[in-house]
Chain A
Amino acid sequence: MGDAAVEVVDLRRTFKVPERETGLRASVRSLFHREYRQVHAVDGITFEIGAGEVVGFLGPNGAGKTTTLKMLAGLLHPTGGQVRVLGETPHRRRPDYLSRISLVMGNRNQLQWDTPAADSFELNRAVYRIPPAEFRSTRDELVDLLDLGALITKPVRNLSLGERMKVELAGALLHRPQMLFLDEPTLGLDITMQKRIREFIGEHNRRHGSSVLLTSHYMADVEALCRRVIVIDHGRILFDGDLAALGGRLAAYKELGVTLADGAADLSGYGEVRSRDGDRVTLRVPKETTPQVTARLLAEHTVLDLTVEDPPVEDIIELLLAAGHKAP
């Protein structure tokens, strides 16, 4: 391995999943004969992440993102291929390796529920054997960066989802991991909190140079943090390269969300009508004509609300799939 923080070669992970039809007869039959299906969650992926690099890991639900992250963090044993992180084989789970990484899952709480986060931080100090002076300085820096203030003295169960994610991140970074795996860190958070979290991740990376692999369904997370993205679907890499190049593929479209006073108006003349929900219409229009189409809409209709957005990540993947794109 060279200077790469992560090196993955032909990585595979297959799960044996039991299958059974519904009904009593199938239940009885399954007592004697169980049927299984092989699911190739990760199907031969190869990539590298450089030291200090922030990479977005994108894909729809069930694409294999979390399975990959778990293999990189040492929680899952690969079925095939090679994986090295920080020069170590993750699934050997050596304490020294676990002390140099962190995996934050947006939907999992690793802090003690009933006590203030400050106590969980103190436990992490003991777990990771952080020297007291270094612990205090890192904690204070994280409290400052994330604007935690009084939050760390409130029991975790009394924090809002966004507040909890902030203290969760702080707890995960106290030991200054060289490799940070973030699985949907902004999941379920409001726009303001999403922005706050992504600003923090960016700032932390600039200050400490840790490598980051980030999965998210929110393009805004990826756009704000990652110059490079890896798109995965059905366990295979569809795209690995600069975000700008991926954006170029999508540059053809923008999505306009329009709410009109006259909800029944026909908007098919402005672009492709993607959906209609009451008075709310979603249009897909060519990116280069978006300003003109928007101006026409505003001039010709009474517009109550108008949003202009990039298509969601699922649509990006849809487009990649449609194009039959494969990573080199």
Chain B
Amino acid sequence: MSMPALLDLYRVQARMAVQQQLQYRMRNAMVLVGFLTEPVVYLAVWTAVAKENGGSVGGWTSGTLAAYFIVWTLVRSMNVVFTPYGFEWRIRTGQMSASLLRPRHPVHYDLAYFAGSKVVWFVMWLPIAAALALLFRPTLRPEAVEVLVFVVAIVGAYLIRSLLQWLIGMVTFWTTRVGALFEIYMVAELMLSGRLVPMSLMPSWVRDVAGWLPFKWTFGFPIEVLVGDLGTRALLLGLATQAAWIAATAGLLALAWRGAVRRYSAVGN
């Protein structure tokens, strides 16, 4: 498929996603509130720890912790992707057949759809971020280049997380139930991504392990691009690592997809 045709497909599907998201304003608001609860709890805990330690913990002050978890809410809403549970539903209801009848790889529809829905999510996030900023007084003074890298890193995080969860979802072609595997993924992500706590507050061996895994490039890295002081080398290295993970997961997905379709067409639905 030529690039203009692919871009046209993404444009149309993304526009459709915006329309659909606008129809479910209340549901989206509830999901955003859910997203807020998690970081606000983390923020409250770590701010208390910082105060107990004379105003900071591991170099993080109340202000920088507030900045971390407010940016967290933005990263979280931007890295929502099609989950393996969606795969289960597609297989169970036969919707996968409809996807397979189309002449384009189904991953494109999901990437375009969830990318489009971000437009609505971002607009809904703005007042929430303003309220959190008023409440927690974050220390956040990013440079222009950091904002630019942050935007690219958000896209990278979205792609890595999408492709990873698509890979896990594809397990449903063999097992039809993938919930347990996805739970393991979510626990690993919680501990090794910077989702629970800034990675610098984790023990060094955890940081070493996390460096070899994809999770921190979907959460901690984009946040720290904006909140931390990474320096040009770390920023470029981070983007390069994201690109490597995108290439690896996309390659693995292309390979596994062939087997998955063979399996699906062998079992049927």
Q: Which residues of A contact B (CB under 8 A)?
A: 15, 67, 70, 73-77, 91, 93, 95-96, 98-99, 101-103, 105, 108, 110, 112, 114-115, 119-120, 122-123, 125-129, 155
**Which residue of the partner chain, among A67, A101, A122, A123, contacts B268 with CB atoms under 8 Å?**
A67
Q: Mark B1-37, 1 if CB is under 8 A from A, else 0.
A: 1000100110111001001100110000000000000
Is the pair A77, B20 in contact by a Cβ cutoff of 8 Å?
no
Is the pair B104, A70 in contact by a Cβ cutoff of 8 Å?
no
Query: Is B127 interfacial (CB 8 A cutoff)?
Result: no
How far apart are A176's CB and chain B's nearest CB, in angstroms?
14
**Which residue of the partner chain, among B8, B19, B103, contacts A98 with CB atoms under 8 Å?**
B103
Query: Is B233 interfacial (CB 8 A cutoff)?
Result: no
Besides the contacts A93-B100, A98-B103, A126-B13, what 9 more A-B pairs have beta carbons closer than 8 Å?
A77-B262, A96-B103, A105-B94, A108-B97, A123-B13, A125-B12, A126-B8, A127-B103, A155-B23
CB contact list, B91-148 vs A, under 8 A: 94-95, 97-98, 100-104
Known: A93-B261, A112-B16, A115-B16. A98 touches B102 (CB 8 A): yes
> Which residues of B have CB within 8 Å of A77?
262, 265-266
Question: How many inter-chain contacts with C-beta < 8 Å in the A-B complex?
Answer: 77
> Which residues of B have CB within 8 Å of A110?
98, 101
Is the pair A115, B268 in contact by a Cβ cutoff of 8 Å?
no
Known: A70-B97, A112-B20. A127 touches B268 (CB 8 A): no
> Which residues of B have CB within 8 Å of A122?
12, 16
How far apart are A25's CB and chain B's nearest CB, in angstroms?
24
> Which residues of A have CB within 8 Å of B267?
15
Is the pair A126, B103 in contact by a Cβ cutoff of 8 Å?
no
CA distance A108 to B96 in the complex (A): 11
CA distance A128 to B102 in the complex (A): 8
Is the pair B268, A114 in contact by a Cβ cutoff of 8 Å?
no
Interchain residue pairs with CB less than 8 A apart (8) = A74-B265, A77-B262, A93-B100, A95-B1, A103-B101, A110-B101, A112-B16, A127-B9
CA distance A201 to B95 in the complex (A): 24
> Which residues of A have CB within 8 Å of B9?
123, 126-127
How far apart are B135's CB and chain A's nearest CB, in angstroms?
34
> Which residues of A have CB within 8 Å of B102?
98, 127
Is the pair A75, B265 in contact by a Cβ cutoff of 8 Å?
yes
Is the pair B100, A123 in contact by a Cβ cutoff of 8 Å?
no
How far apart are A13's CB and chain B's nearest CB, in angstroms?
8
How far apart are A17's CB and chain B's nearest CB, in angstroms?
10
Majority SS of interface residues in chain B? helix
CA distance A95 to B266 in the complex (A): 20
**Closest A residue by C-beta to B268:** A76
Q: Which residues of B contact A (CB under 8 A)?
A: 1, 5, 8-9, 11-13, 16, 19-20, 23-24, 94-95, 97-98, 100-104, 261-262, 264-268
CA distance A75 to B262 in the complex (A): 9
How far apart are A114's CB and chain B's nearest CB, in angstroms?
5
Q: A-B pairs with the 10 shortest C-beta distances?
A: A95-B103, A98-B103, A77-B265, A126-B12, A126-B9, A110-B98, A114-B20, A99-B103, A126-B8, A76-B268
CA distance A120 to B15 in the complex (A): 11
How far apart are B247's CB and chain A's nearest CB, in angstroms?
23
**Which residue of the partner chain, among A75, A114, A126, contacts B101 with CB atoms under 8 Å?**
A75
> Which residues of B have CB within 8 Å of A125?
12
> Which residues of A have CB within 8 Å of B266?
76-77
CA distance A128 to B1 in the complex (A): 10
> Which residues of B have CB within 8 Å of A73?
101
> Which residues of A have CB within 8 Å of B264?
75
How far apart are B181's CB and chain A's nearest CB, in angstroms?
20
Name, among A70, A115, A129, the residue most crowded by chain B CB atoms within 10 Å (CB to CB). A129
**Which residue of the partner chain, among B19, B97, B100, B268, contacts A119 with CB atoms under 8 Å?**
B19
**Closest A residue by C-beta to B95:** A108
CA distance A86 to B144 in the complex (A): 57
Is the pair B16, A119 in contact by a Cβ cutoff of 8 Å?
yes
**Closest B residue by C-beta to A128:** B103
> Which residues of A have CB within 8 Å of B23?
114-115, 155
CA distance A241 to B76 in the complex (A): 61
CA distance A96 to B104 in the complex (A): 10
How far apart are B98's CB and chain A's nearest CB, in angstroms?
4
CA distance A74 to B100 in the complex (A): 9
**Closest A residue by C-beta to B19:** A115
> Which residues of B have CB within 8 Å of A155?
23
CA distance A126 to B14 in the complex (A): 12
> Which residues of A have CB within 8 Å of B94?
105, 108
